[in-house]
Amino acid sequence: MTGEVLVRRNGQAGVLSLNRPRALHALNQPMVEIMTEALLAWRDDPSITAVIIDHAVAPDGDPRLSRGFCAGGDIAMMRQSALEDGGAAGRAFFLAEYRLNHLMFTYVKPIITFMDGITMGGGVGLSLPARWRVATARTRLAMPETGIGLFPDVGGGWFLSRLKGRLGHFMALTGARLDGAECCWAGLATHFLPDEALALAKERIAGGETVATVLDDLATHPGAAPLAAYAPDIARHFVHDTLAAIWRSLGRDPSPWATQTLATLKTRAPLSSTVSLRQLQESLALPDFAANMAMEYRIAARVMLTPDFAEGVRAVIIDKDNAPRWNPARPEDVEDSMVEAIFAPLPHEEEWTPL
């Protein structure tokens, strides 16, 4: 199989299969543009009644290369862009990626994303805008961006802010990984399918059967969602709108869960964590998904140029010492002016617009 995205027709379905297995199918700009072009071509094609998004299986059958649906975006490229061209290449990627996210969100024909494996960052952006979202036993969904000095973008502001019990705030700040059962419990997945039903579901959809009928017929109960046991704790501690208040709330709770959660929060960048909280708050007041993406593009254009982003990618991706030195280092050191500058409108000609 050649190409980083395999574009094909199977009966009445258009199929987009991510095919960059050694990078866990992480997105780059050519992949985004290929997917956008295909969706635009299929939008008005009467022979295509549904679109399937999944990942290709490694040709050699190596399960290590098939364990991710999509691990995110090309973070190393973004860091290089921030350091070398003032973020121009990074902004071009975000512009194209966010347009793809919006195209999926507003697509008239049903899109079915199979979140089979690691689904993080950009992979979430290919999942949550889809009308149908299938989780499996291998699903591990997360928005871990605050751990590298970024924020939960690709529509994260829209989707996470609308989850019950401040679960989205917990996910945004901790980067928690949700399994398939937890995705169903949270409403992030619409169905849970066993491994043996995946191929059959795709074939039945390609055969023209109604998507809801196929998925309802083949879905099974995912089992208990471990995170559900902590829902009251999440709602209680993450109800606060400032990072310092969340830290204090967790610090007053002697439970092992609170202690571990606070320890995790303290490894995240205070600036991007503060930005994430405001992002989720503002998204709730926005009129539509396009307005959310315009806001997130403003944030992305600024945050990728902060020292924290370069430092976070160094610590996690390049040197892998997992010891980032954040600046500012504490929630109380994050000044309001820093956050205001990140959310400020861009020059009119630089603002994000949908296709």
Give the SS3 label for residue 107. Answer: coil
Is-catalytic flag, 332?
no
Structural domain span for residue 106: 5-350
**Contact of 159 with 102, CB cutoff 8 Å:** no
* The pair of three-digit structure tokens given for residue 113, joined into one six-digit string: 């994303």
With bands split at pLDDT 50, 70 and 90, how would you rate the model's confidence at 65? low
Q: Find the range with the poorest average confidence among 52-56, 57-61, 347-351.
A: 57-61
The predicted model gives 270-277 an average pLDDT of: 98
pLDDT of residue 2: 75
> ∠ CA(21), CA(183), CA(39), 5° rounding?
55
pLDDT of residue 146: 98
- Would residue 355 count as lying in a domain? no
* The pair of three-digit structure tokens given for residue 217, joined into one six-digit string: 């017929």
Q: Give residue-wise pLDDT tens across range 211-259.
A: 999 999 999 999 999 999 999 999 999 999 999 999 999 999 999 999 9
| Catalytic position from the list 72, 73, 125, 155 | 73
Q: How many folded domains does the chain comprise?
A: 1
**Contact of 54 with 18, CB cutoff 8 Å:** yes
The predicted model gives 95-100 an average pLDDT of: 98
Is-catalytic flag, 122?
yes
| Catalytic position from the list 54, 74, 145, 311 | 145
User: For the domain that residue 234 is a member of, what is the CATH number?
Assistant: 3.90.226.10
Q: Give residue-wise pLDDT tens across range 328-337.
A: 999 999 999 9
Whether the per-residue pLDDT at 74 is higher than 70: the answer is yes
Whether the per-residue pLDDT at 63 is higher than 90: the answer is no
pLDDT of residue 22: 87
pLDDT of residue 57: 81
Whether the per-residue pLDDT at 162 is higher than 90: the answer is yes
> CA 184 → CA 70, 92, 155, 179, 312, distances in Å?
19, 33, 19, 9, 31
The predicted model gives 313-334 an average pLDDT of: 96
- Would residue 42 count as lying in a domain? yes
The predicted model gives 3-28 an average pLDDT of: 96
pLDDT of residue 77: 93
- Would residue 52 count as lying in a domain? yes
Residue 315, CB half-sphere, CA atoms under 13 Å: how many? 18
Bond prior to 328 in cis (omega within 30° of 0) = yes
| Catalytic position from the list 97, 153, 179, 308 | 153
Residues 6+ positions from 73 with CB-CB distance below 8 Å? 26, 27, 28, 93, 97, 121, 122
| Catalytic position from the list 72, 122, 123, 125 | 122
> CA 303 → CA 113, 287, 338, distances in Å?
29, 24, 10
> CA 11 → CA 34, 208, 210, distances in Å?
20, 8, 14
Is-catalytic flag, 209?
no
- Would residue 281 count as lying in a domain? yes
The predicted model gives 313-336 an average pLDDT of: 96
The overall average pLDDT reported for the chain is 96
Is-catalytic flag, 33?
no
Whether the per-residue pLDDT at 103 is higher than 90: the answer is yes
> ∠ CA(341), CA(339), CA(97), 5° rounding?
75
Give the SS3 label for residue 64. Answer: helix
